[in-house]
Structure 1
Amino acid sequence: MAFSINGQLQKAAEEKRNREYEVSLVEALKNSYRDIQEIEIDSSGYSVPPGDWSCFIKLTFSDGEVVQYGLGHSLSDTINRSGVVNTAESEILSSHFGSTGGNVRVIFSDGKESVE
């Protein structure tokens, strides 16, 4: 029973950490790119908790362009333009450098949705 409770506590703590990183990432992306309409976060997690945090994201811009890529993030990042992208994706991202001031629809890795 104690193992089950400890496992549940550990899982809850990891979910809380993931959400903290995901919310921080959303703010950093909004500070990095203009005209973001939607951010979908998938496969977030740590290499070895509490090691490096990374995820895959899908950015949808108001002009209909969509980019999907993997990236790392730190809670201290206020701008995040890092990521593993090809040339075409890099050109799309570069064309959207700026900031998004309005609300953005966010789909977190746990499937929950929010407007940030």
Structure 2
Amino acid sequence: MNATPNTAPGHRDDVWTENRIRALGAVTDLPTAARIFGLGRSLAYDLARTDRFPAPVIRAGTRYRVPIAGILAALGLPATGDLTFSAQSSVDHHGAIRTTAVHDHATQGEP
């Protein structure tokens, strides 16, 4: 049985760089976190169930999520700043939203 190119041992996809980890976003699933640590899937679930996974694990129902900041910390990498490699600035428009009704009540002293 031949391994597919993207799952062959030693393939480039097996290399987890700091940038590649950060590019995952804020959280990842347990199998992905396990691959980062070089763990098999079943061992990762066993470690998560017994609170022995190398990074903090969040249980959401039957699903497990692993914060990227915890993975970085376990690897001794700084988890400060943006968690994504290609993070873009966001714009908060909530402060610009106003209604005249709220403004009128505020200026008239009504609740």
Shorter-chain TM-score tier: under 0.3
Structure showing the higher strand proportion among its residues: 1
Query: Could you tell me the TM-score, scaled by structure 2's length?
Result: 0.25
Q: Which has the higher contact order (CA 8 A, sep 6+)?
A: 1
Query: Could you tell me the TM-score, scaled by structure 1's length?
Result: 0.25
